[in-house]
Structure 1
Amino acid sequence: MALSVNTNVGAMAALQSLTSTNRSLETTQSRITTGLNVASTKDDSAKYTVAQTLRGDLGKLSAVTSSLNNAKSVTDTAIAGAEQISDLLNQMKSKALEASDAGLDDDSRVAITKDLLALKQQVSTIIDGSDFNGTNILKGDGSATAQGVSALQSIASGASALTVDNQGYTTKATTALGDLTDDTDFAGIDTSDPTNITAAAFSTATTGVIDKLDAFFGEVQDSLSTLGASSRKIEGQLSFNSKLTDVVTSGIGNLVDADLAKESAKLQALQVQQQLGVQALSIANQAPQTILSLFR
Structure 2
Amino acid sequence: MAPKRKRSASEWKQAGNESFKHGQYGQAAGYYTEAIKIFEKSGLKNPEEQSILFSNRAACYLKDGICSECIKDCSSALDLIPFGIKPLLRRAAAYEALERYQLAYVDYKTVLQVDFNLQAAHDGVNRMAKALIEKDGTEWRKKLPLIPSVPLSNQTRWEMTPEYNLTDTDTKKNIPLREQNGVLPLHKVPTEGEIQRAKALKEEGNEWVKKKNYREAIDKYSESLKFNNQESATYTNRALCYLSLNQHQEAVKDCTEALKLDTKNVKAFYRRALALKELKDFASSLADLKQLLEVEPDNTAVQKLFQDVQKLMK
Larger radius of gyration: 1
Structure ranking higher on relative contact order (CA contacts 8 Å, 6+ apart): 1
TM-score by length of 2: 0.21
TM-score by length of 1: 0.22
